[in-house]
Amino acid sequence: MPPLPRPDQSAPAPVGPTGSHDSRAQSGDFLTTAQGVRVPDTDHSLKAGDRGPTLLEDFHLREKITHFDHERIPERVVHARGAAAHGTFESYGSAKTVTKAGFLANRGRTTPVFVRFSTVLGSRGSADTVRDTRGFAVKFYTDEGTFDLVGNNIPVFFIQDGIKFPDVIHAGKPQPDIELPQAQSAHDSFWDFVSLHTEATHHVMWNMSDRGIPRSYRTMEGFGVHTFRLVDAEGKTSLVKFHWKPVAGVHSLVWEEAQIAAGVDPDFHRRDMADGIKAGAPLEYEFGIQVMPDDGTDTFQGIDLLDPTKLVPEELVPVQPIGKLTLDRNPTNYFAETEQVAFHTGHLVPGIEVTNDPLMQARLFSYLDTQITRLGGPNFSQLPINRPHAPVNDMLRDGMHQTAVHTGLAPYLNNTVDGGEPEVAGANDHGYVQTERVIEGRAVRANPASFDDHFTQSTMFYRSLTAIEQDHVVEAFTFELGKVFEQSIKERELAVLANVDTDLCERVAAGLGLPAPAGTPMEDVFVSPALSQIIDTPGPIAGRKIGVIADSGSDLSGIGKLRTAAARRGATVHVIAAAGGVLGKGVRTQVVERTFLTVRSIEFDAFVVAGGTTPSTDIKLIVLLQEAFRHCKAIAAWGDGTAILERAGIGTTEPGVIVGDTAVKAFNDAVLSAVGLHRAWDRAAAVMASEV
C-alpha cells in the first residue's frame, strides 16, 4: 500500500503586510463583519422606528457587542504590567567552548528575539516606576527551537523553594479586603512575610536599593537568577549564571522622581523604550555568562549554586561576553504580541539544561500551566508571537483555539499508517537529549543546611554600595516600614536588619523612632564593587533626554548646536517654553515641545537654559529647575540664561552645574559628559542637608 500523505503541522499562519502577523483588521476598502459581509452603518443599531426598541435580528450589533464583551483575557497573575520590543541577538561565538546551542556557539549568527519587561506586583494598568523587581523575559526564536530566558533585573530571589511562591506573592499583592495598596511593597503583609522569612533578606536589600527603581529598561541589568547547566558538543557540562549588561550603563531614578512619575506619567518606562526605538536609539545589552565547573558539588567556593538567594560575585567569576542583544522594533499590536506572548522556563534548546535549584524546578511546571488559563487553552504556541521559527512537527492535536489544519491519519508513534514518520531525533540530529545525571535520595521535605545562611550576602550587598547608595537603602527601608501599621512587624524587620549591618539598622530605627535591636552581623564579608552602580567616568547617553528652557529671544542657533551635539551621541533635545508653538522665524526655528504647564522635571535627564532667555518668575519653571537640582541632575545655562538659575537659587559653582558664555563645543561637551555621569552625586549631601 503506498504511504498516506504526511501531516503538515507547520502550516503557515496568514501573513499580512507587516510581516509576521495576520493583519486582516483595518485593511481593505470596506468595513466588514467577521464573516466578511460589508457593513453599511456601524453607528446606528437596527431599531423598530427611530425611537423604537432595538431588534434582535441586528447581527452586526450583536457580533460587535459580543466580541467587545470578551476582549479582555485574565492578566498575568504576576508581572501583569509590562512592555515589550522586538530585536535581534548576535552571537560572538565565544560560548562555543561551553555550549553546543547553535545560536550561542556560532559566531555572527543572528537570532530574532522578543523581550518583555515588567513589574511584578502591580495590575496591568499600574504605574511603571513603583519600587519593585523588574522582569526581563527574552524569547529567542532559534533555529533549533525557542529558548526563553525568563529573568529579572535582580540576581537573587525572595524564596528558595517554589512551593513558597504563592505565599510571597499573596503577601506582596494588595490586601484582599479592599484591594490596596496597588503595586507597592510598602504595606503590612509584605513586611510581615519577609520579616518572618529571612531568606528573603538579600532580595529585599536589592529592592530597597536603587535597583528597585530603574531609570529605564535600557539602563537595567538582567539576570537568569538560577544556575543553568550548559553542554558542549562533546557532552562536557558547565554550570553558568546568565547576565544582561546594558550598554547604556546601569542607572536608576531617585525615589522622589519615581513617586512623581507614577502620577505624572505612569507609562514612564514604556514610553521611554518606545520613544527611544522610534528616535533610532535601540536598547542594547551584552549577554554574558559566569562559568563554574560542574564538579558534582553544585557549589563554588562555598556558594551553593542551587540556592537562588545567592549570587556569585563578579570579582570571583568574571562575566564573559557571549553576544549582543539589540531591541529596535516596537510591537505592532500590544494585545497580539506583548499581552499574548507566553514565556516558559521549560522552553530550552539543546546545549542548555536546568539544575536542581528547587525554585527553578517549580517554575518548570508553572509557566506552561498558567498559559492555559491566561490564553484559554493548550494551543497558545500557535499564536503568531509564540510560534517557533524552527519547523514544528508535533503530535499535539485538537483542543480549544486549534488553528492548525493537521493532515495525516496517525498522530502517534510508532505508526505504520503514516509510513512510520516522523522520526525521533538523536543528539547528532539536534535532538534535545538530556545529559545523564545521577538522581537519588530519600523523599524529604527539607533544604540543605547551606540554604540557612540568609545574611552573609545581604551584608555583602549593603557593604559593597557607595555611601550615597547606602543612604538610599536607609531611606527606602524607613519609607516602607514607615507605612506599616503593626509595630511588631517593624520591630521584627529591624531585628532582621540588625543581622545585616548595625549602622543600617540603627539609621532605619532612628527614622522610625524605635530602639535599634542588637544583632550579629558578619564583620568580615567579601566586598563586590561590581554591585554598585555609581560611575566616575561618563558613560553613553543614547536615549537620554535634555530639556532646554527658551523663549523667542533665546539664542536659537545655540540650541541647534546643542541638539546636533546630543544627536551625535543618540540623545535628544526638547525645547520647553512658557507657551507652545514655534520659536523664531526662517531657518532658525525651534519647535516648543513642552510648556511650563505640561513639563515635569522627571521627564528629562538634564536641563539647559538657553542664552538670551528672559528671566521668568513663573513658579512652575522655578520648581522645575529646583526639582532637577534636588534630583542631582545636570543643569546648565549659557550667556544670560544663568540669571534664571540664580533666580531658582541654584549656585553656578555647585557640582554638576555648567555655565558658559555661548553654546560652543566645550560647553556642549561638558553638558553631555555630565549627562553621561547620570547624576552629580557630589551634590547629594548638600541637597539632603539643605533647610528652608
The residue nearest ligand HDE at its CB is 135
CB of residue 159 to ligand HDE, shortest distance in Å: 7
| Beta strand pairing call for 320-329 and 82-91 | antiparallel
In a 10 Å sphere around its CB, with 0-12 CB exposed, 13-18 middle and 19+ buried, how is residue 520 labelled? exposed
- HSE at residue 39, side-chain half, CA atoms within 13 A, is 19
Q: Nearer to ligand HDE by C-beta: 151 or 214?
A: 151
**For residue 475, what is the enclosing H or E element?**
helix 467-482
Distance CA 312, CA 299 (A): 10
CB of residue 241 to ligand HDE, shortest distance in Å: 11
CB of residue 365 to ligand HDE, shortest distance in Å: 8
Q: Nearer to ligand HDE by C-beta: 137 or 260?
A: 137
Q: Nearer to ligand HDE by C-beta: 327 or 592?
A: 327
CB of residue 95 to ligand HDE, shortest distance in Å: 20
The closest alpha carbon to 147, from 122, 115, 193, belongs to 115
In sequence order, which residues have a C-beta less than 8 Å from that of residue 670 and are 6 or more positions away? Answer: 636, 658, 660
**For residue 103, what is the enclosing H or E element?**
helix 102-105
152 catalytic? Reply is yes
In sequence order, which residues have a C-beta less than 8 Å from that of residue 463 and are 6 or more positions away? Answer: 501, 525, 527
Gyration radius of the chain over CA positions: 28
Distance CA 11, CA 52 (A): 49
Query: What is the SS3 assignment for 204?
Result: helix
DSSP line for 143-160 = BTEEEEEEEESSSS-S-S
Q: What is the 3-state secondary structure (H, E, C) of 387-413?
A: CCCCCCCCCCCCCCCCCCCCCCCCCCC
153 catalytic? Reply is no
In sequence order, which residues have a C-beta less than 8 Å from that of residue 615 and are 6 or more positions away? Answer: 643, 644, 647
Positions touching ligand HDE (CB under 6 A) are 76-79, 82, 116, 118, 135, 137, 150-152, 157, 162, 165, 225, 341-343, 359, 362-363, 366-367, 370
> Which one from 21, 60, 86, 152 is the annotated catalytic residue?
152
CB of residue 586 to ligand HDE, shortest distance in Å: 49
> Which one from 60, 79, 202, 430 is the annotated catalytic residue?
79
In sequence order, which residues have a C-beta less than 8 Å from that of residue 48 and are 6 or more positions away? Answer: 55
CB of residue 332 to ligand HDE, shortest distance in Å: 18
CB of residue 293 to ligand HDE, shortest distance in Å: 23
Distance CA 136, CA 146 (A): 16
C-alpha cell at 51: 425611537
Q: Nearer to ligand HDE by C-beta: 386 or 552?
A: 386
Distance CA 237, CA 293 (A): 8
Contact 596, 620 (CB under 8 A): yes
C-alpha cell at 601: 522635571
Q: Nearer to ligand HDE by C-beta: 118 or 238?
A: 118
Q: Nearer to ligand HDE by C-beta: 445 or 585?
A: 445
CB of residue 388 to ligand HDE, shortest distance in Å: 17
Strands (E), 213-257: 222-223, 228-231, 237-246
C-alpha cell at 207: 529592592
Q: Nearer to ligand HDE by C-beta: 95 or 120?
A: 120
Q: Nearer to ligand HDE by C-beta: 274 or 362?
A: 362
CB of residue 345 to ligand HDE, shortest distance in Å: 8
* CA distances to 608, 619, 624, 657 from 644, in Å: 10, 12, 12, 13
Grid look-up 557571549 returns: 322
Burial per residue of 41-72, b for 16 or more beta-carbon CB atoms within 10 angstroms, e otherwise: eeeeeeeeeeeeeeeeeeebbeebeeeeeeee
Q: Nearer to ligand HDE by C-beta: 366 or 502?
A: 366
CB of residue 308 to ligand HDE, shortest distance in Å: 6
CB of residue 77 to ligand HDE, shortest distance in Å: 5
Q: Nearer to ligand HDE by C-beta: 200 or 680?
A: 200
| Residues shown for the chain | 692
Q: Nearer to ligand HDE by C-beta: 102 or 135?
A: 135
Q: Which residues pair with 140 in a beta bridge?
A: 113, 147
In a 10 Å sphere around its CB, with 0-12 CB exposed, 13-18 middle and 19+ buried, how is residue 521 labelled? buried
Q: Nearer to ligand HDE by C-beta: 157 or 477?
A: 157
Distance CA 541, CA 606 (A): 11
Q: How many C-beta atoms surround the C-beta of residue 325 within 10 A?
A: 24
Residue 610 has phi, psi (to 5 degrees) of -70, 145
CB of residue 118 to ligand HDE, shortest distance in Å: 5
C-alpha cell at 497: 536588619
Looking at residue 407, its amino acid is T
Distance CA 136, CA 147 (A): 14
Active site residues: 79, 152
